[in-house]
Structure 1
Amino acid sequence: MPFLLALVLFVGALCVLDLVLTIGVIRRLREHSDLIARAAVGGAEVMRPAGARADAFEATTTDGELVSRSTLVGSTLVGVFSPGCGACAERLPGFVSRAGEFPGGRDRVLAVVVTDESPTEEFAALRPVARVVLETRNGPVSAALGVHGFPAFAVLDDAGLVLGSGTELDQLKLPVGA
């Protein structure tokens, strides 16, 4: 009988310990969820902030056109995407729509697809509304803009000054009209 009592107490103590540890894990998961939610709403910068200047860059578009910071004319809308990024796929249609309305048209919109593989068809919608650059992680354009998260959006002036940036197009002050 004393053995049975000791076994019951031991099992009870293990259950209480398991419960305490589970409550601790749940608390940590909630903290992490809050941090992720704040970052997704714009609490974290994914590229150079407004007022910073993009470094010099030079890249070739999928059409063979050379683009660089010095070839920017007026305000340029920039979108940086990556295949397999759920938020990129979600925000791509909005970017395509805004790019189609951007003053100056396709020549004033730059889309960067960061991938180590061939781009998927999901990014084909960018070609009619933007000059598209394919590059690997830390390629010339994304490195010049300090991109470290996806999607990343910005408006640059012709000197490479970031007029606005973020993970949502609504965070930018986009010019309207053509």
Structure 2
Amino acid sequence: MPFLTALVLGVGVLCLIDLVLTVGVIRRLRAHEEMLTARPSAFPSIVLPPGAVIGGFSAESTDGVRVSDETLTEPVLIGVFSPDCPACHDRLPQFAERARSFPGGRRNVLAVLVGTEEEVADQRRTLEPVALVLIEKHGTGLTKALQVNGFPSLALVDENGRVVASGSTLEDLDKIPAHA
């Protein structure tokens, strides 16, 4: 019987030690979570976030229409795509479908293709019927105004140049903040 008592006592002590260690680990994890939450993101957003105002830009679409931050008089749907981006190949047809039914038609939809004329020829053919297409180098024009850091970049911009919704998927555009 003394052996059984010692065994039960030993198991109890081990359980108590395990419990103390587990509580300590949980406290450390909570402290790390708080530090990570308080720290700014290590990754820049892919495009200007909601509430930001786009920078100035001026460009000419592939069919000769002049567009700039000053010509925005209605909400505009913007998509920025690159020919060597696998996600762009998936999202471009979805963007074209959304553009087809966007209020104001193609004059209120800007599709920015980042690359050379030859590289973006297929994307251009898909988008020209539903959007004003701009072909530019990354870091210039509208990609600079929207602070594009990756592809695809999508944004819904109001008539004052304020980003209402943004992200890399059409679902991101459907998540319009309550204060918008």
- The two structures have a TM-score, normalised by structure 2, of 0.70
Structure with larger Rg: 2
Letter of the structure 1 residue corresponding to residue 149 of structure 2: H
* Aligned 8 A contact 1:83 1:120 in 2: no
The within-5 A match list for 1:45-124 is 45-118=45-118, 119-124=120-125
CA deviations on 1:114-136 (whole Å, 9 max, x unpaired) are 11452231331100000000001
Q: CA RMSD in A?
A: 1.7
- The reply on whether 1:170 has 2:171 as its aligned counterpart is yes
Letter of the structure 2 residue corresponding to residue 69 of structure 1: D
* Aligned 8 A contact 1:72 1:158 in 2: yes
Q: Where in structure 1 do 4 or more consecutive aligned residues deviate above 4 Å?
A: none
* Aligned 8 A contact 1:70 1:158 in 2: no
Q: Which structure 2 residue ranges, 5 or more long, are not aligned? A: 1-42
* Aligned 8 A contact 1:166 1:172 in 2: yes
Cα distance in 2 for residues equivalent to 1:163 and 1:66: 23
**SS across alignment from 1:52:** coil
**C-alpha deviation, 1:164, in angstroms:** 0.4
**C-alpha deviation, 1:45, in angstroms:** 2.0
**SS across alignment from 1:172:** helix
Aligned residues: 133
- The two structures have a TM-score, normalised by structure 1, of 0.71
